[in-house]
Amino acid sequence: MIQLDINAKLYDLATEHPEIIELMDTLGFHEIKIPGMLQTAGKMATIPMGAKMKHIDWDEIVSTFAEAGFAFSKHKGDK
What is the value of pTM for the model shown?
Answer: 0.85
Residue pLDDT, tens place only, 16-40: 999 999 999 999 999 999 989 999 9
Residue pLDDT, tens place only, 38-59: 999 999 999 999 999 999 999 9
Q: End-to-end CA distance of the chain, in Å?
A: 19
Over residues 62-78, the mean pLDDT reads: 83
Q: Which CATH class is domain 2-72?
A: mainly alpha
Domain boundaries of the chain, sorted by first residue: 2-72
Of the candidates 15, 23, 28, which has an alpha carbon nearest to the alpha carbon of residue 67? 23
User: What pLDDT is stored for residue 74 in this prediction?
Assistant: 72
Element (H, E) at 34: none
Q: Is 46 helix (H, G, I), strand (E, B) or coil?
A: strand
User: What pLDDT is stored for residue 75 in this prediction?
Assistant: 56
Q: Where are the beta strands (DSSP E) in 1-79?
A: 2-4, 70-72
